[in-house]
Structure 1
Amino acid sequence: MLDEEIYRKLFVEESRENHETIVNSLLALEHGEDAAAIDEIFRSAHTLKGMSASMGFDDMERLCHSMEDVFQLVRNGQRTVTPALTDLLLRCTDVIEVMLDEIEGGGDPSSETAEILIKSLKAFSDKGTDEAAFDALPDGGGADAEPAMIPVAMEDPDADASPVYTLRITLDPACGMKDVRALVILQNLEELGSIRATTPSRDLIEDGMFGESFSLRIASDAGEEALKTVASGADVTAVEVSLYEQEAAAADADPRPDLEFEDIQAPQKPGKSEKAREIKNIRVDIHRLDQMMNLVEDLVINRGRLEQIARKHGIKEFDEALSMVGRSVSDLQNLMMGIRMIPLERIFNRLPRVVRDVANYDGKEVEFIVDGGDTELDRSMMDGLNDPLLHIIRNAVNHGIEPPDVREANGKPRKGLLKLVARRDKDNVIIEIEDDGSGIDPEKLRHSAVEKGLMTAEAARTAQKEELIGLLFQPGFSTAEKITDISGRGVGLDVVKRAIESLKGTIRVDSTLGKGTTFELVLPPTMAIVDVMMVHINDRRCAIPVSNVVEVATGRQDAIHHIGSTETILLRDSLLPMHRLEDMFGASSKGSDTLVVLQNDGKKCCIVVDSVEGQQEVVVKPLSRLVGSCRGISGVTIPGDGDVVPVLDVNTMV
């Protein structure tokens, strides 16, 4: 049920944009043939049709399909766009808009008016004349018939004994702002009496959605000449005024009047003459969000500065005000982070089609399971993740899963299994792509490595499995026996690795021959504002993300051992690599025994620090392009005192 509401919301949001495109393009066509506008209408109607069908909104799908048929003929030059056809199509858009309102409200859209419009559009497609569209409507109704009026919300007409007149006002076809001209005419006439009804509806008249003329009925004591004079003016070519007969009023009271071409209107909501739809979604340029994020980061930095001033001077009132400001900044920060986060299903939803197409191409049977699509990731990482995922998925089907007869011969089900699972581990997002295929053959990797000159025969013979699998990420390396449209050109996992590393993430491969292969992508938190532990190394400050800190411990000299050229320390029955970071910060003369134990992707190490300053919330900025990349440093931060402090990249250390 929750998924249905999410998809319904997305459907309404996208459909309103397509609806608006159709309306604007139709209005553009009134000023002359415009191939771009016709293409836009066709494209938008086609999109609306497909989306409606996928959501099960049959009436909307059939109406959009009929509109698409008409504009296919227009685009091919078999039909021309006439004012009457424009009116008909605009009435279609009115019905679609009401349907979208019903969908947004949780209902199932259906409309008798839609059926009438579909018949009219089909008649136009078959016969190619405006008269055909008239004939398709119920109860006949020729072009010369007097159109029925659309009542305007007003007081009881029987309470007004004034004569009632019918006015038909024709505007100059060259009038560039007929909506404004019509609105002025209606406002002037309202000063002489009470407007009872209009054709088309008042909403459409004020939006300029009518042909060259519109009609209205008004109760007034001013007389015909006065009404004609007020309705005349610039851009008005003709005004016809006639006394409305009382007998006709009884006919208008018929709840089911005969429908004419101009009678077709979007159903009006009872008691509402004006649209009151609330705008619930807006699209914002991503650069504006980035600017807002930068401003929030500035607030966080200055909050740290204020906290330092507060601690220095110890002013109670200042502390209380700062506490309130701090909470507001934190709430604003969390809100901004939430706005930037996008569920992974936005890119996961495209992958089932990829699996299907590759499986059909290779003649394989594959069951594709996706889990964790609701896991959210920062939008800045979403773009960079799409291509790596796509490539790994294609590789899994093409290289990993065997053909059905081979699987059957090996005692496996004919249909291979491919899983895509996303989950959050602390602040990291982990994405696993697992298949139950043939796995990676180390011997084939050895042979390819020697053949391509990446290893000597001796090195390949003694290489460990992990080292061999690492060859998959070398540029130009491929084990495919033949080149196809999908693989074998040596352009692949090296690009994937670079893309993941550009996101500050890691990629790991685990494979068992005959059992399958698992790719694990670990993406770090993209939060620009993170909690860090401030430490001092050789009298220089550096920051370590708190999410990577396991503990702060004291190391004993007798627990330190050397394994080759690497220092290790025995800590709580675990032997951990120990780094002094002298190549980054210089050798410390203090001989400190304070250790910070770090962990990343289940692996641990520790670094020696002089002292621990404490935990702090900071803004992490990437290194400038002028500086370039620096191994061991993921970015820099500026705490409240204005110092530039490097942030350690725990991934490279571990």
Structure 2
Amino acid sequence: MLDEEMYRKLFVDESRENHEVIVNSLLALEHGEDAAAIDEIFRSAHTLKGMSASMGYDEMEHLCHAMEDIFQLIRSGQRDVTPALADLLLCCTDVIEEMLDEIEAGERPASEKSGSLIASLKAFIGDQPDAPPAAGSAPGEEPVSSPVAAAAGSLPCYDVTVTLDPACGMKDVRAIIILQNLEALGSILETTPSRDLLEDGRFDGSFSLLVASDAGDEALATVASGADVVSATVTPYDPSEAAADEPPLPDDPVQAPQKAGKSDKNREIKNIRVDIQRLDQMMNLVEDLVINRGRLELIARKHGIKEFDEALSMVGRSVSDLQNLMMGIRMIPLERIFSRLPRVVRDVANYDGKEVEFVVEGGDTELDRSMMDGLNDPLLHIIRNAVNHGIESPGVREAAGKPRKGLLKLTARRDRDNVILEIEEDGAGMDPEKLRRSAVEKGLMTPESARAASKEELIGLIFQPGFSTAEKITDISGRGVGLDVVKRSIEALKGTIRVESVVGKGTKFELVLPPTMAIVDVMMVHINGMRCAIPVSNVVEVATARQDAVHHIGSTETILLRDNLLPMHRLEDMFGVSTKSGDTLVVLQNNGKKCCIVVDSVEGQQEVVVKPLSRLVGSCRGISGVTIPGDGDVVPVLDVNTMV
């Protein structure tokens, strides 16, 4: 129900935009010939028709289809936009707007609103200047021939009714084949239901066609029959019976539908589209407010003015609410990038001759807009690798006792303050021995270190530049380019990537991302008299170092802390040699691994805005960005990913 509500809201928003384009372009056409306006109208009407059909709003789809026929005549130069035709089309747009109001209110559009309009549109289609007089029309009478007669010309017409087997699993494919076979013998003038619905498979198994052909009824019945067809009947078309079945045309094809014109009610504007640059500017202003809030808090503590503290407390709450609101506006469902992945899986699987079932869960999980662009390429590459490298061919899977079709699952979920993406497949898994041999062959490890390497260390080699275990190079993979870039891209988003793999069972990639990169909680510390910030999400604890617990292993300084041997970093290459003893440790953790840094003192925790390094400065290893606290200093933010 939630998904239906979400799609209905999106449908209404998109349809109102297309509706507005049609109205404005019609008004432009009334003032003269405008090829661009005609193209805009046709494009918007076609889009509106397709979306209506996909959502099951048949009445709107039928009305849009009839309007599209008129627009096609206008675009091809067969029909001029007269005031009467413009009035009729504008009446149609009024009814479409009423239908959208009903859909937005959770109702279904009423069929009686569009019936007379569709009949009027058909009358305009049949009222061509060069159309032959209708049979039986009186001399001097204005002929109004049906579109069927105009299209068929002198060819005999037949009603073809096809009923498919209820057990047919691919109704759309079977219907398309029958349509193509009949088109080889003549022209299909009408389909019931519409051709779009037939091609989408949205019909009950029976459909009717009006075919103009000189091949004869037996030939038509033969090509309409075949596998999955229960019956195919062909009868000559009787125009008089068809005319009796159609709703009567209004005396004036313009005046009648005008009664169904626009209602007097005013519709409240509930949604607007905002340029993303404006949202970025608003976010920058909110970030400035956060920075200045910190400065005001510093001034308040310094002077101790009670009234100032009370006012600042209220301002602080408003800034926090504004910040949360702004962050919510910038959040976008991951479905936006998930929606393009099924096509990728299909294409790669077809290229490799594999069968893959792709399952996506958690597409409604939201992520900051600024992170979407950076996530798209890494996710795409992991998905392609999972199909190309991970999942075996059907024959290999059957030999291993697995189903022919492999399973690839993409899951998104929230875990406290983070967004977690899991890409899991049930393929062959990564063989540690194969990784070990490849590492030695490529010179990434010595034979001794390779033999001593753990499974986690060997799997971590896949993120090394140029590392690949592919036995052959293809258009998709095997060139040793990709996963190292994936890791750098994820780390640039302040995220982490972890891999688990079991031979014969499959591989799982886990991406842990912050929901946003703009405003974070940090711990302020001093190193050699200089301040730096550490994201609180990476801080495990603050401890005091005992000199007897400090050891040297090779060139690395380590400390034994709570029965764990942790590497120690003094960051002297970044901040210089500290003049203090440095007995305060900040223990950091990233992706399950820990280390610690030596600091002079810990100032405290605060919420700050993290700005990326300027392009003039370039990237700096160990620094993810800078922040400006309340006193106006520029403070570097440590990148824990590169330390651990």
TM-score by structure 1 length?
0.74
> Which string of whole-angstrom CA distances, capped at 9 and with x for unpartnered residues, describes residues 282-340 of structure 1?
11111111111111111111111111111111111111111111111111111111111
Q: Which runs of 5+ in 1 are unaligned?
A: 136-140, 145-255
Residue 488 of structure 1, CA deviation: 5.0
CA distance in 1, matches of 2:489, 2:293: 35
2:293 alignment counterpart:
303
SS at match of 2:254: helix
Q: Are residues 391 and 72 of structure 1, via their aligned partners in 2, closer, same or farther at CA, if it must alter by over 3 Å? A: farther
SS at match of 1:278: coil
Q: Are residues 510 and 434 of structure 1, via their aligned partners in 2, closer, same or farther at CA, if it must alter by over 3 Å? A: same
Contact 1:95 1:266 (C-alpha < 8 Å) held by counterparts? no
> Which string of whole-angstrom CA distances, capped at 9 and with x for unpartnered residues, describes residues 519-556 of structure 1?
22232352422221111111111111112212212222
Q: Are residues 89 and 362 of structure 1, via their aligned partners in 2, closer, same or farther at CA, if it must alter by over 3 Å? A: farther
Query: Paired residue for 2:354, among 333, 343, 364?
Result: 364
Residue 593 of structure 1, CA deviation: 1.8
2:31 counterpart of 1:39: no
1:260 alignment counterpart:
252
Q: Which letter does structure 1 place at the counterpart of 2:275?
A: D
Contact 1:113 1:266 (C-alpha < 8 Å) held by counterparts? no
Q: Are residues 22 and 491 of structure 1, via their aligned partners in 2, closer, same or farther at CA, if it must alter by over 3 Å? A: farther
Residue 464 of structure 1, CA deviation: 6.2
2:303 alignment counterpart:
313
2:504 alignment counterpart:
514
User: Among the aligned pairs, what percent are the same residue?
Assistant: 84
CA distance in 2, matches of 1:261, 1:451: 81
> Which string of whole-angstrom CA distances, capped at 9 and with x for unpartnered residues, describes residues 12-52 of structure 1?
11111111111122222223332222222222122212221
1:647 alignment counterpart:
637
Residue 427 of structure 1, CA deviation: 2.8
Residue 353 of structure 1, CA deviation: 3.3
Query: Paired residue for 1:552, among 527, 534, 542?
Result: 542
Residue 567 of structure 1, CA deviation: 2.1
SS at match of 1:284: coil
> Which string of whole-angstrom CA distances, capped at 9 and with x for unpartnered residues, describes residues 461-510 of structure 1?
88765565555445666555556554456554344344334333333333
Q: Are residues 278 and 266 of structure 1, via their aligned partners in 2, closer, same or farther at CA, if it must alter by over 3 Å? A: farther
2:489 alignment counterpart:
499
Q: Are residues 437 and 69 of structure 1, via their aligned partners in 2, closer, same or farther at CA, if it must alter by over 3 Å? A: farther
Residue 352 of structure 1, CA deviation: 2.5
1:438 alignment counterpart:
428
Contact 1:402 1:437 (C-alpha < 8 Å) held by counterparts? yes
Q: Which letter does structure 1 place at the counterpart of 2:579?
A: S
SS at match of 1:324: helix
1:402 alignment counterpart:
392
SS at match of 1:625: coil
CA distance in 2, matches of 1:520, 1:379: 21
Q: Which runs of 5+ in 2 are unaligned?
A: 136-140, 145-247
CA distance in 1, matches of 2:611, 2:446: 43
Contact 1:85 1:130 (C-alpha < 8 Å) held by counterparts? no
CA distance in 2, matches of 1:121, 1:482: 61
CA distance in 1, matches of 2:480, 2:35: 44
Q: Which letter does structure 2 place at the counterpart of 1:261?
A: P
CA distance in 2, matches of 1:608, 1:395: 40
CA distance in 2, matches of 1:480, 1:292: 47
Q: Which letter does structure 2 place at the counterpart of 1:260?
A: D
1:100 alignment counterpart:
100
Q: How many residues align?
A: 535
CA distance in 2, matches of 1:284, 1:463: 53
> Which string of whole-angstrom CA distances, capped at 9 and with x for unpartnered residues, describes residues 378-406 of structure 1?
10111221222222222222332122232
1:328 alignment counterpart:
318
CA distance in 2, matches of 1:501, 1:652: 9
2:109 counterpart of 1:109: yes
2:551 counterpart of 1:561: yes
1:51 alignment counterpart:
51
Contact 1:508 1:521 (C-alpha < 8 Å) held by counterparts? yes
CA distance in 2, matches of 1:116, 1:489: 63
Contact 1:419 1:434 (C-alpha < 8 Å) held by counterparts? yes
Q: Which letter does structure 2 place at the counterpart of 1:100?
A: L
1:211 alignment counterpart:
none
CA distance in 2, matches of 1:114, 1:30: 23
CA distance in 2, matches of 1:573, 1:461: 26
CA distance in 1, matches of 2:125, 2:468: 55
Residue 76 of structure 1, CA deviation: 4.2
Q: Which letter does structure 2 place at the counterpart of 1:521?
A: L
2:576 counterpart of 1:581: no
Q: Which letter does structure 2 place at the counterpart of 1:500?
A: I
1:3 alignment counterpart:
3
SS at match of 1:261: coil
Residue 568 of structure 1, CA deviation: 2.1
CA distance in 1, matches of 2:535, 2:70: 61
Q: Are residues 647 and 362 of structure 1, via their aligned partners in 2, closer, same or farther at CA, if it must alter by over 3 Å? A: same
CA distance in 2, matches of 1:444, 1:599: 30
Q: Which letter does structure 1 place at the counterpart of 2:500?
A: D
Larger radius of gyration, structure 1 or 2? 1
Q: Are residues 364 and 6 of structure 1, via their aligned partners in 2, closer, same or farther at CA, if it must alter by over 3 Å? A: same
- Which piece of structure 1 moves more, 366-375 or 615-624? 366-375
1:385 alignment counterpart:
375
CA distance in 2, matches of 1:53, 1:494: 44
Q: How do 1:630-645 residues align onto structure 2 when only pairs under 5 Å count?
A: 630-645=620-635
Residue 441 of structure 1, CA deviation: 4.4
CA distance in 1, matches of 2:24, 2:620: 52
Q: How do 1:7-406 residues align onto structure 2 when only pairs under 5 Å count?
A: 7-125=7-125, 128=128, 260-265=252-257, 273-406=263-396
CA distance in 2, matches of 1:546, 1:532: 5
> Which string of whole-angstrom CA distances, capped at 9 and with x for unpartnered residues, describes residues 403-453 of structure 1?
223211111112211111122334332211110012234566567677778
Q: Which letter does structure 2 place at the counterpart of 1:597?
A: V
Contact 2:117 2:257 (C-alpha < 8 Å) held by counterparts? no
SS at match of 1:621: coil
CA distance in 2, matches of 1:69, 1:396: 46
> Which string of whole-angstrom CA distances, capped at 9 and with x for unpartnered residues, describes residues 219-264 of structure 1?
xxxxxxxxxxxxxxxxxxxxxxxxxxxxxxxxxxxxx996631134
> Which string of whole-angstrom CA distances, capped at 9 and with x for unpartnered residues, describes residues 64-93 of structure 1?
223333334444445544444333322222
Q: Are residues 372 and 125 of structure 1, via their aligned partners in 2, closer, same or farther at CA, if it must alter by over 3 Å? A: same
CA distance in 2, matches of 1:445, 1:325: 57
Q: Which letter does structure 2 place at the counterpart of 1:12?
A: V
- Which piece of structure 1 moves more, 376-385 or 512-521? 512-521
2:584 alignment counterpart:
594
The RMSD of aligned alpha carbons is 3.2
Q: Which letter does structure 2 place at the counterpart of 1:387?
A: D
Q: Which letter does structure 2 place at the counterpart of 1:262?
A: V
CA distance in 2, matches of 1:487, 1:290: 37
2:600 alignment counterpart:
610
Q: Are residues 78 and 363 of structure 1, via their aligned partners in 2, closer, same or farther at CA, if it must alter by over 3 Å? A: farther
Residue 125 of structure 1, CA deviation: 4.5
SS at match of 2:59: helix
Q: Which letter does structure 1 place at the counterpart of 2:253?
A: F
Contact 1:534 1:544 (C-alpha < 8 Å) held by counterparts? yes
Q: How do 1:519-538 residues align onto structure 2 when only pairs under 5 Å count?
A: 519-538=509-528
TM-score by structure 2 length?
0.75
CA distance in 1, matches of 2:488, 2:641: 15
SS at match of 1:641: coil
Q: Which letter does structure 1 place at the counterpart of 2:539?
A: V
SS at match of 1:9: helix
